[in-house]
Structure 1
Amino acid sequence: MLIFHHIGKTGGTSLRNIVKRNYQPGKLLELYGPNRGSVEWYRHYYHTLTAEQKSTIQCIAAHSAHFMIPVLEELAHPFQVFCLLRDPVDRVISWYHFALSVAETDNGGAGQVGRILKQRNWRIEDIYLNLGCGAENISELHKSFKFFFNGQARTILAPHVATEGLTYTATFPHFYEDKLYAIIQRYYITGSQSRFKESVAYFAQQFGWQDISDVKENVTKTRPKLSELSKEITALIQKYNELDTKLHKISQKQYLPGVQYLSW
């Protein structure tokens, strides 16, 4: 079984559409929706499926699909997780402007963040100046902005360890770094948003996909280019996303070796 861990603002919506074209009805189980970010939810849901349904499913896809990892391990069911990762500065900028763009229309987490940004008139740097040195369990405000602080690492870690100790600081306990790399090496095949086509080609090689035509979806058009950011803002984002930076660099070097025309 495959698990598509759709990490927000990494090119995941475009990849999702490719995934959907490569699995017949019943073979792809999409579980997008609120309040599904727990192992308990996935364990309960999976046990409601019939034996026939379980045997038919080839891929599970969702923002929270990685919470299936402990469930399938308990059942000794073989699986492979795949996802896209993104340069954290690029992702934070995209996430910030996306949240603003859906502030009036989205009732989920992105809309909530967008409304807070507008109410407080926060620029990107204000997030770090006001919430830096905090943690996700200090307040509801801090929790709402947790994915601006090593957000990709934080979501990958979530089914396996409590992430409250991964504080909103420039340094963090080495336990989290060691655990993150162990999870990636054991369970994940990763691609890079900046090398989307090559990543999809590699996934196709691994998983037998036939239709990998590229149509970009959910692109945040209002955001500035990275080259337009000041060095100060770039450095500030990097300061509070060091683990994501390491994760992205290592994934680029280590997890796309099968595509011969790549040079990482």
Structure 2
Amino acid sequence: MSSSTSTDSQQTAIFLHIHKTAGTTLHAILRRQYDEAEVYNIDAKGHDYHHFIKLSQSEYAKIRLLKGHMNYRLHSFLPQPATYFTFLREPIERVISYYYFIRRTPRHLHHQAANALSLYEFASQQIDPLMANGQTRQLAGGYPKYDFGDEADALLNKAKQHLQAHFAVVGLTERFDESLMMLQQAFNWHHVWYQRQNVGSNRPKQEELSSKTIAYLKKLNQTDEALYAYGRSLFEAQIAEQGSHFPRRVQIFRLLNRFTQPYWHLRQFSLRVWLRSLQTS
């Protein structure tokens, strides 16, 4: 799909949020674009996949935005047309970030295991399948086994086909602002200023990890490496469709977005102060 023109306003937008691809930052932007009653969020608070598939046709029809950590295919439940968007991330950076996210998130299913094991040990013991080709898993529609084995090429082709045919925008985490500008145009969004959220501060840089660990993560994520290369080619094609003035638009947006940062800091400070006052009252 092309992002050079806006999508049909009657279509439901589906944000397929791949773990650790800047989705938390985007969720904050999305809250300003859609009424809460028109949004269905796949999360861990009761609105999970099992709840979603039990909705009535009238409930499905009300959804203008479906978002969250999900596998491709939930559009098949909707009676109205739908189009997807997502962000891809360089695979080794993503799995490193994901592992350290688990370590600092007590509510995560694998929190204790991640804190008891090194990154290499956690990945090699096959505890969490999203450590191995997690982006391909979600975009192909899900795959339960840790090792793709002989099915790697078929799953990769399926994920590529989905990206090419059913995604209005394929963004890249490493090029967030350009991706956001294309999303704004494709879905007619407004007020897309932002401050980065949920940025991991407890993780080492890739070059600080052992060569053994990096080599093993690359072996685990060969299919994701190929998918990411394909996603980059789609991204560059989308950029080309924006025209010669697009780089200037992105530059202006970045400049203006810097001026909003004091506002975000003030909001965070005010929230912290309010929370402290509740604790001491």
TM-score by length of 1: 0.77
Are the equivalent residues in 2 in contact too, given 1:5–1:66 (CA < 8 A)?
A: yes
Aligned to 1:43: 53
TM-superposition CA deviations, 1:76-97 (whole Å, max 9, x none): x211111111111111111111
Task: Give the fraction of aligned pairs with identical amino acids, expressed as a percent.
Answer: 23
CA positional deviation for 1:46:
4.4
TM-superposition CA deviations, 1:114-160 (whole Å, max 9, x none): 21123xx31111134333xxxxxxxxxx4xx110010111122236x
Aligned to 2:218: 238
Alignment of 1:44-193 (within 5 A): 44-47=54-57, 49=59, 54-55=61-62, 57-64=63-70, 66-72=72-78, 75=79, 77-103=80-106, 106=107, 111-118=108-115, 121-131=116-126, 142=127, 145-158=128-141, 163-164=143-144, 167=147, 172-188=151-167, 189-193=169-173
TM-superposition CA deviations, 1:151-186 (whole Å, max 9, x none): 111122236xxx2356266x7542111211111112
CA positional deviation for 1:204:
0.6
CA positional deviation for 1:61:
1.6
Matched, 1:254 2:234: yes
What residue ranges of structure 1 are gaps of 5+ in the alignment? 132-141
In structure 1, distance between residues paired with 2:125 and 2:183: 40
Are the equivalent residues in 1 in contact too, given 2:140–2:156 (CA < 8 A)?
A: no
Are the equivalent residues in 1 in contact too, given 2:38–2:64 (CA < 8 A)?
A: yes
Are the equivalent residues in 1 in contact too, given 2:13–2:66 (CA < 8 A)?
A: yes
Aligned to 1:139: none
Amino acid paired to 1:88: P
Matched position secondary structure for 2:84: strand
Number of residue-to-residue matches in the alignment? 230
In structure 1, distance between residues paired with 2:124 and 2:146: 18
Question: Against the structure 1 CA distance between its residues 217 and 112, is the aligned structure 2 distance closer, same or farther, given a 3 Å change threshold?
Answer: same
Aligned to 2:176: 196
Larger C-alpha radius of gyration, 1 or 2?
2
TM-superposition CA deviations, 1:185-210 (whole Å, max 9, x none): 12123101111111111111111111
Matched, 1:4 2:4: no
What residue ranges of structure 2 are gaps of 5+ in the alignment? 1-11, 249-281
Amino acid paired to 1:229: L
In structure 2, distance between residues paired with 1:93 and 1:151: 12
In structure 2, distance between residues paired with 1:59 and 1:242: 32
Question: Against the structure 1 CA distance between its residues 168 and 181, is the aligned structure 2 distance closer, same or farther, given a 3 Å change threshold?
Answer: closer
Are the equivalent residues in 2 in contact too, given 1:14–1:216 (CA < 8 A)?
A: yes
**RMSD of aligned Cα (Å):** 2.5
Are the equivalent residues in 2 in contact too, given 1:5–1:83 (CA < 8 A)?
A: yes
In structure 2, distance between residues paired with 1:226 and 1:261: 29
Aligned to 2:44: 33
In structure 2, distance between residues paired with 1:23 and 1:36: 18
TM-superposition CA deviations, 1:20-72 (whole Å, max 9, x none): 1112343333342267664x6433224362xxx825x3212222274422213
In structure 2, distance between residues paired with 1:81 and 1:124: 32
Amino acid paired to 1:147: L
